[in-house]
Amino acid sequence: MLVKTVFAGFGGQGVLSMGLNLTQAAMMEGKHVTYLPSYGAEVRGGTANCTVAVSNEEIASPVASSPEFVIAMNLPSLVRFQNQIESGGVLLFDASLVETEVSRGDIEVVGIPATDLANKIGSPKSANMVMLGAFIKKSNLVSLDSVIEGLKSTFKGKPDLVTINEQALRTGYDLL
């Protein structure tokens, strides 16, 4: 089993932390995992993306030329990555921000109103965690518990942040 996921969006939407949280959880579950962010001049234009590969065995390449999952938090990311998704793969996007018609019939397209849901729970900044929750449910790559455990170590000494993010995660997770 080797699954590659691309998280993409505007800088500030927390796409890199989505990837990092998944990576952390996979590591805690003893899986092989790599995390590769976009870097350099590419990220200075305001968009960011990262690729996470999770596997039961050694990972050959941390790069995804045809990821199984793409999480698009904005329209440019959806446009850029939708054609790269492996046939049979899944595209998740923030339906609160992106109105789109995906032209491919060989992938599953899932719109999650992540930003609206995040606003609803009073934490507009945690749309990424809502999205991650939905992705965890959809992909079943790691358990929700592992992601929450990971959050606790990331936000050590900041219990408020753990609570907010956990709530957002569960909101997305319970949606699907």
Partner 1 sequence: MSIVTKVLMTGNAAIGEAAIRAGCQCYFGYPITPQNELTEHMAANLSRRKGCAFVQAESEIAAINMVYGASLAGVRVMTSSSSPGISLKQEGISYLAACELPAVIVNMSRGGPGLGSISASQSDYFQATRGGGHGDYRTPVLAPSSVQELADLTHRAFDLADKYLTPVLILGDGILGQMMEPVEFRHEAPEVPPVRSNALRGAKGRPSRIVKTFTSNPSTLEELNWSLFRRYQVIKQAEVTYDTFMVDDARLVVVAFGIAARIAKGAVKTARIEGLKVGLLRPVTLWPFPAAKIRKLAEDVKQFLVFEMNMGQMLEDVQLALEGSAEVSFYGRTGGVIPTPSEVLRVIARLYHQKGLHR
Asked if residue 30 binds partner 1 (CB under 8 A), the reply is: yes
Pick from 17, 49, 54, 63 the residue near partner 1 by CB under 8 A: 63
Strands 69-72 and 32-37: unpaired
Name the DSSP class of 34.
Answer: E
For partner 1, the closer of residues 2 and 175 by Cβ is 2
Size of the site for partner 1 (CB under 8 A): 23
Closest CA to 138 of 83, 69, 80, 78: 69
Strands 69-72 and 2-10: parallel
For partner 1, the closer of residues 43 and 75 by Cβ is 43
Pick from 24, 82, 123, 126 the residue near partner 1 by CB under 8 A: 24
Tell me how long the chain is: 176
Only segment of 30-38, 120-128, 137-145, 167-175 that touches partner 1 (CB under 8 A): 30-38
Q: Contact letters (x/-) for partner 1, 105-144, by CB under 8 A?
A: ----------------------------------------
Q: Counting Cβ atoms within 10 Å, is residue 63 exposed (0-12), middle (13-18) or buried (19+)?
A: exposed
Cβ atoms of 94 and 135 closer than 8 Å: no
**Binding interface with partner 1 (CB under 8 A):** 20, 23-24, 27-30, 33-37, 39-42, 58-63, 65
